[in-house]
Chains A and B, each alone.
Chain A
């Protein structure tokens, strides 16, 4: 059997404070390579917390997390940074691009921290931007790009270091329906090329594009269904 990209075992996340808050309760989840998974649920159900744990941005209070077979739930900050850099590509709702950098430099940013040389980094960033259809926008800054183009830059940045997992948090939340569909089509395209996807969303249309939907409620997984995905695009 192939090593799962994500293997969560009884993950709990409790935020301290005067009144401790139990954000994740005994979440267990396995995502195999090549899957495209939607995590759905109302706000405050633990979606974001789960995404932070999966994205190695946060550590679970208890439970074990294996990312591509490596136990990451007990790693230190620097090793987590390395795991994010090598294994995960992030796509955020608000793009999270650096305003003063061109598209090319934004995309090359993860490669700086991966220790890739400047020349090779630029070539790979260029290829990634071409892959998302922005070969003619290499030197534009984010404020010279439309919302959809910005998200494409973010996706190019997510794939540039060839991660085993792309983690998208409400990737169409800031976009109109049509542009959102284009982004989902791009995700499906990347998925067909073998990239594993986890998309956190509250939009049923977006979730329907994924072959597997995981529903969260009160910090628990209450539903895990596989169905034939809708093809995005008009």
Chain B
């Protein structure tokens, strides 16, 4: 007996119970869907972070607070909670010869004011090159240039929502208008394109200014999130790393036998750290999603057991007409495999669609993982066979005399 005939039989039986088959399939669809989406989002955000770090260019060192031995950095630089780096640390590093810039990165929560209108927002200090690397897009106006960055010009670029909230009474773009932060006045030179909710917070509610300008908002001992140090090339990095370490250890008064309270990473080290963390995160999410796949499998087993009981007489007839143990086994196994494969395929398609749409919405790169797709396909087939095996075996073991008599 040929495979195509078994398959035809399986298909007929499934079409006969359309609603039941569809509902059983739904379990698989949801399971595979969530696995695909979780893996897709995980890989998408990994690609996003990688892209951003790569954008910094070659010869970059990243100093982040925290003891490298006792603490792992999750996510992008600057999101760790222990704040041991200060602005003065960054200033001290500027004296090292052979570096093009030291960029302290810091966020502060501040109240921005226009006349009597006050709005809370995140103020971020950065440099023009970093702005390019982070892929900020302008809606109107311009970004600050190198000269403004050097001189600490009192200019500011506003996120879209922040600009709207601050300048509620005007329809034109607020270029050239003044914004007050902690009593200081800044000139608006640009408004960012609306970005929607990003993975690490939206830029819509941020205000960006040159680091030097930003420093005027901070006191000398103010804590900062991270320091980017850029030198000419990657070859200088080991030497530079030592120099940075020596200066910072001195400033933090760390004895030679003590661990540092900061961490210096090169771009590639940071990338691999991020890789490890986001992979673990992706696997965790996919694992949780896989549980729903398991539930889908149990649904298949349940419905197949019902089906076997319902079709006891059919099994009796088939056996009387010459069906062997393996014929009945194959028939029912193929039925459950068809349900799970059809559900799995639909789940893959819907999952890819959802991943693609969400990636578009939050502006993450869409990563097509053929491994995840193939894995989900094979796994759903395996679920069908595994959870179909017990019911199919029950069917195949029925005694023909009893089965024929079954009412």
Once bound together, how far apart are the Cα atoms of A49 and B317, in whole Å? 17
The answer to whether B404 touches A81 (Cβ under 8 A) is no
Task: Report A93-109 CB contacts with B as 1/0, cut-off 8 Å.
Answer: 00011101000000001
Instruction: Answer yes or no: B58 CB below 8 A from chain A CBs.
Output: no
CB distance from A120 to the nearest CB of B (A): 13
The answer to whether A96 touches B12 (Cβ under 8 A) is no
The answer to whether A86 touches B314 (Cβ under 8 A) is no
Instruction: Answer yes or no: B153 CB below 8 A from chain A CBs.
Output: no
Instruction: Answer yes or no: A85 CB below 8 A from chain B CBs.
Output: yes
CB distance from A187 to the nearest CB of B (A): 19
The answer to whether B321 touches A90 (Cβ under 8 A) is yes
Task: Report B300-331 CB contacts with A as 1/0, cut-off 8 Å.
Answer: 00000000000001101111111111110000
The answer to whether A96 touches B317 (Cβ under 8 A) is yes
Interface residue count on the A side (C-beta < 8 Å)? 26
User: What is the chain B residue whose CB lies nearest that of A83?
Assistant: B322
The answer to whether A85 touches B400 (Cβ under 8 A) is no
The answer to whether A113 touches B1 (Cβ under 8 A) is yes
Once bound together, how far apart are the Cα atoms of A115 and B326, in whole Å? 14
The answer to whether A96 touches B313 (Cβ under 8 A) is yes
Give the residues from 1 to 44 in chain B that come closer than 8 angstroms, CB to CB, to chain A: 1, 5, 12, 16
Instruction: Answer yes or no: B401 CB below 8 A from chain A CBs.
Output: yes
* Chain B contact residues, majority secondary structure: helix
The answer to whether B322 touches A114 (Cβ under 8 A) is yes
| B: interface residue count bin | 20 to 34
Give the residues from 128 to 180 in chain A that come closer than 8 angstroms, CB to CB, to chain B: 157, 161
User: What is the chain B residue whose CB lies nearest that of A110?
Assistant: B321
Residues of B within 8 A of A98 (CB): 314, 317
User: What is the chain B residue whose CB lies nearest that of A157?
Assistant: B321
User: What is the chain B residue whose CB lies nearest that of A99?
Assistant: B314
Residues of B within 8 A of A77 (CB): 324-325
The answer to whether A110 touches B317 (Cβ under 8 A) is no
User: What is the chain A residue whose CB lies nearest that of B4?
Assistant: A118
Once bound together, how far apart are the Cα atoms of A114 and B1, in whole Å? 7
Residues of B within 8 A of A82 (CB): 322, 324
Residues of B within 8 A of A85 (CB): 321-322
Once bound together, how far apart are the Cα atoms of A78 and B327, in whole Å? 10
Residues of A within 8 A of B12 (CB): 100
Instruction: Answer yes or no: A123 CB below 8 A from chain B CBs.
Output: no
CB distance from B46 to the nearest CB of A (A): 50
User: What is the chain B residue whose CB lies nearest that of A97?
Assistant: B317
The answer to whether A113 touches B322 (Cβ under 8 A) is yes
Out of A58, A96, A161, which one reaches B401, CB within 8 Å? A58
Residues of B within 8 A of A161 (CB): 322
CB distance from B247 to the nearest CB of A (A): 83
**Could you pull out 14 A-B pairs where Cβ atoms are within 8 angstroms?**
A57-B404, A78-B326, A81-B324, A90-B320, A90-B321, A96-B313, A96-B316, A96-B404, A97-B317, A98-B314, A100-B12, A113-B318, A113-B322, A113-B327
Contacts A78-B325, A81-B323, A113-B318 known; 4 new A-B pairs at CB < 8 A: A57-B320, A92-B404, A97-B317, A112-B5
Shortest 4 CB-CB distances between A and B: which pairs?
A85-B322, A113-B322, A110-B321, A81-B324
